[in-house]
Chain A
Amino acid sequence: MKLLQPGRITEVYGLTGMGMTRLGLGLLAEPSRRAPVVALDVKGWLSPLAAWEMGVDSSRLVIVRCPDPERWPQVAAALIDGVQAVYAEVPAGVGEQHLRRLAALARARRTGVALRPLGDALPSGVAHLRLWAKEVRWEGVDHGHGQLRRRYLVVEVSGRGVAGMTKTMEMVDDGTDVMRVVSGVGAEERQPARVAG
C-alpha cells in the first residue's frame, strides 16, 4: 500500500516522541527521487538528518519554517500548489475550513500531502488515509548500556484509503531507509498490550 498518494492527504498523528515525524518525512523519500519535496516546519525542530536516513534526497529536500499559525494556511497552500510532495506540521487551532481547502487544492494539483497535526487529530474527511501511532517500543538500550537501535511502532490505519476498515500494522525502523512492516495491514484488530522494557 502506498502511504502517500498524489492528490491525497495522509494524516500522521501521535504523541510527540512516538515516531510519526520520522514516518512522515520518510513518505517524501520516493517522490524526492523525481522532484523537489518540502517539509513545512512549525516548531523549528525538524531535523533533515532523520529525513536523509529515511532515504530523502538531500539535494531535493527544502524545509520551510513557518512558526506563525495565522500565516500557516497561506504558506501551506502555496507549497501544495506547486510542489509534488509536502510534509507539513499543522499548528494547533488551524480552522477546519482551511484544512478542507488544502485537501481540495491537493486534489486539484495532484500533490501528495502528509499532515502532522501538533494539536488535535484532523477533522474527519480531510485525510484519505489516517496513520495513528498507537504504541512504540525501542530496542538497544538497557539501564545505561547500549544505544537506541530499533524502534517497533504500532500504527492504526484508517480512512477511505483502506475502505473505512481500520487496520493495525507494526513497523520496524532501524535507522536505515527501510521501514519494514512486520505484521502487515492484514493484522486485524490486534489488541497489543503495553510493553514495558
Chain B
Amino acid sequence: MWYPELAPKSASQPASPVDRSADVRWFEAVVQTIEDLVPRVEVAEPGVAYVPVGGAVRYYGGEEVLAEKIAGAIPPGARLGLADGPFAARQAAERAGENEPFIVEDTASFLRDLEVDALGPGELAETFRWLGVTTLGALARLPREAIASRFGVEGLTAHRLAAGEDRVPLPRSIPPEYAVESCHYEEPLELAEQVAFLTRNLAAQLLERLAREGMSPFRVMVEVEAADGTVRQRTWRSTDPFTEHALAERVWWQVRAWIDTPGGIPGGVVRLRLDPSDLSGEGRQLPLLEPVERDGATTWQEVTIDRHDAERALSRAQALVGPDAVLQAVPKGGRMPHEQVEWYPWGDRPPEVTTDAPWPGKVPPPSPALASPTPPPIEVEWDGGMPVRIRLGTRWETVLSWSGPWRMVGRWWEGEGPADRYQIVTSVGAVLCVVKDGRAYLAGVYD
C-alpha cells in the first residue's frame, strides 16, 4: 500500500532527510486502520506499508474483496498492489490507479516485463542498461554466478528480485537474546527528549550486538509499554539492512507518532524494546555462504538458515578460541605444503594471491594432510645416504621405499642454506622430510 504524496517512487532518489514524524503520525492512523482488517502490517517508510494477506484473503473470500475493503477503509490517495513478495507488490502499487487496486495474477511474468529501473536508483540499474539488459526478465535470464561474481551481493540481490525470489522472512523465530530492551518502571520517561535519546541508544546497541555476530536486520519490531500497561507494537522493514541512523530515526518517528496520537502513551514510557527479525549475514564478507540451486529449484531459504546458524556457530567458536584460531585459506604458489597456503581470519576478505606462476620445486599432489610451518626434528637412520629406519612416535619403522633427495636451494638472501626433501614410505604410511645441515625434520605426514 503506497501513498505517492508521502513516499517517492522507488525508482527515484530518496527524499532528503527531513523530520518526517508528522508523516509517520498521520500514517500510523492509516496502518492502525488496516490492522483492524489484517494483522501484522509492516511499515517500510511513511507512506509505504506491506500487508501480508495470505490468511486474510481466505477470511474475506478473495483478493479483490480484501483489496477493496482496505481501499475503502483508508484515506483516499493510496495505491494498492497485490503480488507475491514485497518487491513485486510495491511495483504493482506504483502501477495501480487511485481506487483501483492492481492485482498481479502471475508475478513472474509481471516482473519479467519491468524495466531494470525498478531495482531502484543507482549505478547498478544504469550499468545493466548500458550493458543492454533493460528488463528484469533479461536480467533474470543471465546466469546467477556471473552476476554474483561481477556485481557482488548487490547484483545477486537484484538478480533474485528479478527472478521473483523476494526476501521472505525466516520461518523460525530469531533468538530472543538478540532483542534489546530498556526498562524504566521506577521513573517513566515523559519528556520527548528522554525518549529520543533512549531510541538512539537502543538502536545503536542492537546493531552493535548483531554486528558482532556478523548480521544486520531487515525488520525490527518496536514495542513500547506505557505506564498504564498499554503495549504498542509496530514492525518496520527495509529493503537493505538497517543502518544505525536509519533505524534510530524510524524508531523515534514511531514512538513519537504513538505519543502524539490520541490515547498516546499514558503516563510515559516504562519499557522500550527492539526486536530484530529477518537477519542478514551480509554485514560480514562471507562468500562461502552463497545460496545454491539444486535440481532447478532454489534452496535459498534453507541456505539462509544454514548461513545464520553457521555464522553463529563460528562466532561462538571464535569467542572460545580467539579470532586467530578460526581461519580460512586460499591456495598460493610455493614449494613446501605450508607455503602453498595463505591463511586469513574467518570473516575477513580473502587475500589476493597469485597462483599461476609455475613452481618447479613444488611437492606434487597428493599433498600431506598434516603439515607444519615449523617442522620439528625427526630421527632418521641412514646407510650410505639412503634412509633405512625412521622413528615415528615411540616406534622405529623400517623404510620400505623413498623418493629424493630433491634439492631445494634456500633463500640465500635470507641466509637460508640448501636443503633436501625426501618422501619416505613405511608400512604405516608416508611422511615428507626435509634434511638440512645433516639434520632431518618432519615437514608433513601423508595422513
A residues apposed to B, CB below 8 Å? 15-22, 25, 33-36, 38, 43-53, 57-66, 68, 71, 74-75, 78-84, 136, 138, 140-149, 151, 173-176, 194-197
Contacts and interface: CB of A to CB of B under 8 A. Distances in A.
Contacts of B340: 49
A62 B316 contact: no
12 contacts: A18-B429, A22-B369, A36-B289, A38-B317, A47-B371, A58-B328, A59-B328, A71-B320, A138-B425, A141-B402, A147-B364, A196-B400
Contacts of B368: 47, 49-50
Contacts of B404: 144
Interface string B312-332: 111011001100011111110
Given A18-B429, A148-B425, 10 more contacts: A16-B393, A20-B447, A21-B370, A51-B369, A61-B288, A66-B320, A78-B313, A136-B427, A138-B430, A148-B446
Contacts of A44: 372
B313 A81 contact: yes
Interface stretch (B124-132, B301-309, B411-419): B301-309
Interface string B345-389: 010001000000000000011111111100000000000001000
Contact of B423 (A16, A147, A194): A147
Nearest to A136: B429
Leading 8 A-B pairs by shortest Cβ distance: A82-B313, A17-B429, A175-B366, A175-B365, A50-B369, A82-B309, A21-B369, A45-B370
B432 to A, nearest CB: 9
Contacts of B321: 64-66, 68, 71, 75
A86 B399 CA distance: 34
B390 to A, nearest CB: 10
A47 B365 CA distance: 13
Contacts of B346: 62
A164 B84 CA distance: 51
Given A19-B447, A50-B368, A64-B321, A145 B392 contact: no
Given A50-B369, A148-B425, A174-B366, A16 B400 contact: no
Q: Is the interface of A mostly helix, strand, loop or mixed?
A: mixed
A45 to B, nearest CB: 4
Interface residues of B, number: 62
Contact of A146 (B329, B331, B403): B403
Nearest to B338: A47
A46 B369 contact: yes
A35 B447 contact: no
A182 B317 CA distance: 39
A38 B288 CA distance: 12
Given A64-B326, A197-B401, A83 B429 contact: no
A78 B369 CA distance: 24
Nearest to A15: B428
B229 interface: no
Given A82-B310, A138-B425, A16 B292 contact: no
A34 B303 contact: yes
Given A47-B444, A78-B317, A136 B366 contact: no
B327 A62 contact: yes
B172 to A, nearest CB: 13
A52 to B, nearest CB: 7
Contacts of A45: 370-372, 445
A153 to B, nearest CB: 9
A65 B445 contact: no
Given A25-B369, A148-B446, A49 B292 contact: no
A148 B444 contact: no
A21 B401 contact: no
Given A34-B303, A196-B400, A197-B400, A62 B328 contact: yes
A50 B367 contact: yes
A194 B341 contact: no
A40 B7 CA distance: 51
Interface core residue of B306, B346, B369, B404 (most chain A CB under 10 Å):
B369
A23 to B, nearest CB: 9
A15 B168 CA distance: 49
Nearest to B340: A49
A148 B366 contact: yes
A119 to B, nearest CB: 12
Contacts of B430: 17, 138, 148, 151
B287 interface: yes
A154 B447 CA distance: 14
B426 interface: yes
Given A50-B367, A64-B325, A82 B447 contact: no
Nearest to B313: A82
A180 to B, nearest CB: 13
A141 B310 contact: no
